[in-house]
Amino acid sequence: MMSMQSIRPWRTINRRSSRQINVGSIKVGGGAPISVQTMTNTLTTDVTATIKQIHQCIDAGVDMVRVSTPDENSTKALKKIVLESTVPIIADIHFHYKRAIEAAKAGAACLRINPGNIGSIDRVREVVHAARDNNCSIRIGVNAGSLEKHLLEKYKEPCPDAMIESAMAHANLLQEFDFHNFKISCKASDIFMAVAAYQGLVKLTDAPIHLGITEAGPLLPGTIKSSIGLGSLLWSGIGDTIRVSLSADPVEEVRAGYEILKSLSLRHRGVNIIACPSCARQGFDVIRTVEALEEKLSHIKTSLNLSIIGCVVNGPGEALMTDVGFTGGGAGAGMVYLAGKQSHKMSNENMIDHIVELVENKVEEIQGQGFQ
């Protein structure tokens, strides 16, 4: 199948070339699909609640899930959690290197270590040995809020250069230990700092890059902030895996991550609804219709495009580019479009259920052709 990029070069994103690593069953970097991550916010020792949240994220399409392991009881619980998860589990390590060793032995697919607080070179060496012995990858997770003391003294404040220096020092250290199964992140809550750090970092390493705007905030502001930061980097070809860090349900992080990737045609999942904001010209209640369709089509994982446009100003043109479309008309009815062409009229009253049926039929057709 010919891609949109091949016939519309202005849609082309040339992804940065990076080496490929394995995070459990997921390949990261080296041209692999950009993976979507999130992190649980339950007590890790509450195994039942943590597994439930992981399964909710899996239903939303998450590729891997990070779990905090602040103490020995958490790393003990991690072993049970790993066994119940169908996606790789990343252990989040801070302050105590022994938690990293315990997590690797418990079956974690990746250890996220923070260079600013993991400890001495000898401790890092022990973590590397545990990771290698247990087929576990590592993420060097630099954060502007927890840089090493000597870097803050050198640069006077958190800044892109300090973050890059921290990341590369630890990348070089891992490579000195002949460990190459790692990825790097340089996160900051400040978009400018994070983007500049990532842009500088990729000039110095071929390691896969994990993107994130840390502590982005509540659902709406955090999603917008992450979309700007991550979107600009992804559009320039930077990024092999992402997390949208929100003060919200982790499922919302997964949804936001996919929407960012879908907007750039980097990943495809579910129904992409193209809808107008509505105005006095609308031939039906666009907002209510879109809300209902979002809910009724949320179970669909196959990628397709649906246009819901209130009037004929842009409706027919948008429908040309979609699998299924509906454009408002007059007298309580509108026009249904299939594969970009006018098909038939449908009443506004029955339109929602009819569109759901058409979309589900299209999904069956796509799946029958061997596509997802």
Mean pLDDT of 139-157: 94
What is the pTM (predicted TM-score) of this model? 0.92
Model pLDDT for residues 34-62, shown as the tens digit of each residue: 999 999 999 999 999 999 999 999 999 99
Contacts by 125-131, CB closer than 8 A, 24 or more apart: 125/177, 126/97, 126/101, 127/93, 127/97, 127/100, 127/101, 128/174, 128/177, 128/179, 130/100, 130/101, 130/104, 130/105, 131/100, 131/104, 131/179, 131/181
- 328, exposed or middle or buried, with CB in 10 Å at 0-12, 13-18, 19+? buried
CA separation for the pair 200, 167 (Å, rounded): 11
Q: Is residue 372 over pLDDT 90?
A: no
Closest CA to 260 of 216, 307, 309: 216
Q: What is the mean pLDDT of the chain?
A: 94
Closest CA to 191 of 227, 156, 161: 227
Q: What is the dihedral of CA 337, 338, 343, 347, to 10 degrees?
A: -50
pLDDT at 2: 47
pLDDT at 330: 85
Q: What residue segments make up the domains of the chain, in order of their start? A: 15-263, 271-368
Asked whether the beta carbons of 162 and 181 are under 8 A apart, the reply is no
Mean pLDDT of 82-89: 98
Mean pLDDT of 127-149: 95
Model pLDDT for residues 4-14, shown as the tens digit of each residue: 556 788 889 99
Give me the architecture of the 271-368 domain, per CATH. Answer: 2-Layer Sandwich (3.30)
Mean pLDDT of 336-362: 96
Mean pLDDT of 356-364: 96
Q: Is residue 150 over pLDDT 70?
A: yes
Q: Tokens 């699998």 correspond to what residue?
A: 323
pLDDT range class, residue 3, cuts 50, 70, 90: low
pLDDT at 362: 95
pLDDT range class, residue 1, cuts 50, 70, 90: very low
pLDDT at 95: 79
Model pLDDT for residues 184-228, shown as the tens digit of each residue: 999 999 999 999 999 999 999 999 999 999 999 999 999 999 999
Q: Is residue 117 over pLDDT 80?
A: no
Residue 244: count other Cβ atoms within 10 Å of its Cβ: 30
Mean pLDDT of 21-28: 97
CA angle 34, 92, 149 (to 5 degrees): 105
CATH number of 15-263: 3.20.20.20
Percent of the chain with pLDDT over 70: 97
pLDDT at 288: 97
pLDDT at 116: 64
Model pLDDT for residues 269-318, shown as the tens digit of each residue: 999 999 999 999 999 999 999 999 999 999 999 999 999 999 999 999 99
CA separation for the pair 145, 214 (Å, rounded): 9
Q: Is residue 361 over pLDDT 90?
A: yes
Model pLDDT for residues 224-246, shown as the tens digit of each residue: 999 999 999 999 999 999 999 99
Distances, alpha carbon 347 to alpha carbons 208, 221, 322, 356, in Å? 51, 37, 20, 14
